């Protein structure tokens, strides 16, 4: 089983690995249902999906009739206006077959002009606050990719008291001095305010480039169990953060197996040194 810790101030103890439902972009319901069995086997109790993840919400919906109370359920919207975000939340609730989600997130909020729209008059933030007041979501968060995401999350937290953030975290990202500094400041801010920190791209070896794509992830992932162990344990060696699982159902059992065996016996520096032998390259520059 995978260790559970408090998910920020929500009152929910989530497994340190959250199921990243981007893996359900284009799978059948039968394939999705086999994943449910794996999640339950490892005790995973937190699902992170998005309206933009293809068929993911549709695949999770049938689980909710029997298992809604077993999962902290999160989804996301990329709509930046009040009406657009509101409409998409209602569509997500229909697809997920539930009357509320536990966490609703502004997805990939990293561009300054989109940020101004979302946070300004008639913006998505108004729909987020309204949805919480109406009980359609319990908590609110913000997510993003890229090298400026940590800085943008700090800006978002200065604007509104979000309950969670989500952003990339792996050794190559932290070799970028500015990103490392911004991430450290963000992590400290979140710890002070009891904001949950979710991380993505743990398994990134680097961009696919000209290589033939062997997996459904949009980056080249680690695929060998030993490498996955190092990548997963590197993230989990940072106290308090959560790891969103990889966007490929075939790699999911390996990630969960690695998380279940995490002991904390190796330092993050030791794990990074071992990973450096695998020829990683930055996913974002």
d(CA 30, CA 59): 9
Query: What distances in angstroms separate CA 39 from CA 19, 34, 128, 204, 250, one per listed residue?
Result: 8, 9, 29, 22, 13
Weakest-pLDDT range from 56-70, 72-86, 181-195, 198-212 = 198-212
Q: In the structure, what pLDDT confidence band is assigned to residue 284 with cuts at 50, 70 and 90?
A: confident
> What pLDDT shows up at residue 169?
97
Whether residue 174 has pLDDT greater than 80: yes
pLDDT in tens, 92-106: 999 999 999 999 999
pLDDT score of 213: 67
Answer yes or no: is pLDDT of 219 > 80. no
Note the pLDDT of residue 278.
83
Closest listed residue to residue 240, CA positions, set 196, 272, 201: 196
pLDDT tops 90 at residue 281: no
Give residue 249's pLDDT: 87
Distance CA 173, CA 265 (A): 23
**pLDDT for res 209:** 67
Q: Which two tokens stand for residue 240?
A: 């308090």
Average pLDDT, integer, range 223-246? 96
Largest CA distance in the chain: 51
Which of the residue ranges 50-59, 151-160, 242-251 would you say has the lowest mean pLDDT? Answer: 242-251
pLDDT of residue 216 exceeding 90, the answer is no
Q: Please answer whether residues 104 and 133 qualify as being in contact, where contact means their C-beta atoms are separated by less than 8 angstroms.
A: no
pLDDT surpassing 70 at residue 215: no
269, 159 Cβ separation under 8 angstroms: no
String of DSSP letters for the chain = ---EEE-TTSS-EEESEEEEGGGGTT--HHHHHHHHHHHHHHT--EEE--TTSTTHHHHHHHHHHHHGGG-EEEEEE---BHHHHHHHHHHHHHHHTSS-EEEEEETT---HHHHHHHHSTTBHHHHHHHHHHTTSEEEEEEE--STTHHHHHHHHHHHS--SEEEEE-STTGGGSHHHHHHHHHHHHHHHHHT-EEEEE-TTEEE--TTSPP-SSSSSEEP-SHHHHHHHHHHHHTSTT-EEEPPS-TTTHHHHHHHHHT----S-HHHHHHHHGGG----S--
What domains lie within the chain, and their CATH numbers? 4-278 (3.20.20.100)
Phi/psi for 75 (5° steps) reads -140, 180
Q: What digits encode the pLDDT tens for the residues 93-140?
A: 999 999 999 999 999 999 999 999 999 999 999 999 999 999 999 999
Phi-psi sector, 212: left (phi>0), alpha (psi -120 to 50), beta: beta
Residue 34's pLDDT band, with cuts at 50, 70 and 90, is very high
Please give the pLDDT value at position 14. 98
pLDDT for residue 276 is more than 90: no
Average pLDDT over every residue of 18-47: 95
209-228 average pLDDT score: 78
């Amino acid at each position: 089983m995978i260790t559970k810790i408090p998910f920020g101030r929500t009152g929910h103890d989530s497994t340190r690995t959250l199921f990243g439902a981007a893996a359900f972009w284009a799978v059948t319901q039968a394939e999705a249902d086999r994943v449910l069995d794996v999640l339950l086997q490892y005790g995973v109790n937190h699902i992170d999906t998005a309206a933009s993840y293809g068929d993911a919400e549709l695949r999770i919906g049938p689980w909710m009739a029997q298992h809604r109370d077993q999962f902290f359920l999160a989804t996301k919207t990329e709509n930046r206006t009040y009406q657009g975000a509101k409409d998409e939340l209602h569509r997500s609730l229909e697809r997920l077959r539930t009357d509320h989600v536990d966490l609703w997130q502004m997805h990939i909020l990293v561009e300054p002009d989109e940020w101004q729209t979302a946070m300004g008059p008639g913006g998505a933030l108004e729909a987020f606050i309204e949805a919480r007041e109406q009980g359609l979501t319990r908590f609110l968060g913000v997510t993003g990719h890229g090298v400026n995401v940590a800085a943008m999350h700090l800006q978002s937290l200065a604007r509104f008291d979000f309950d969670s953030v989500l952003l990339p975290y792996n050794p190559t990202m932290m070799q970028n001095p500015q990103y490392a500094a911004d991430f450290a400041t963000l992590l400290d801010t979140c710890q002070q305010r009891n904001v949950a920190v979710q991380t993505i791209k743990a398994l990134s070896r680097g961009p696919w480039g000209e290589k033939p794509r062997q997996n459904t992830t949009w980056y080249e992932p680690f695929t060998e169990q030993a490498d996955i162990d190092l990548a997963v344990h590197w993230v989990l060696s940072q106290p308090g953060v959560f790891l969103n699982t990889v966007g490929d159902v075939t790699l999911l059992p390996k990630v969960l197996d690695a998380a279940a065996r995490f002991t904390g016996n190796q330092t993050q520096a030791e794990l990074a040194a071992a990973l450096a032998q695998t020829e990683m390259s930055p996913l974002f520059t």
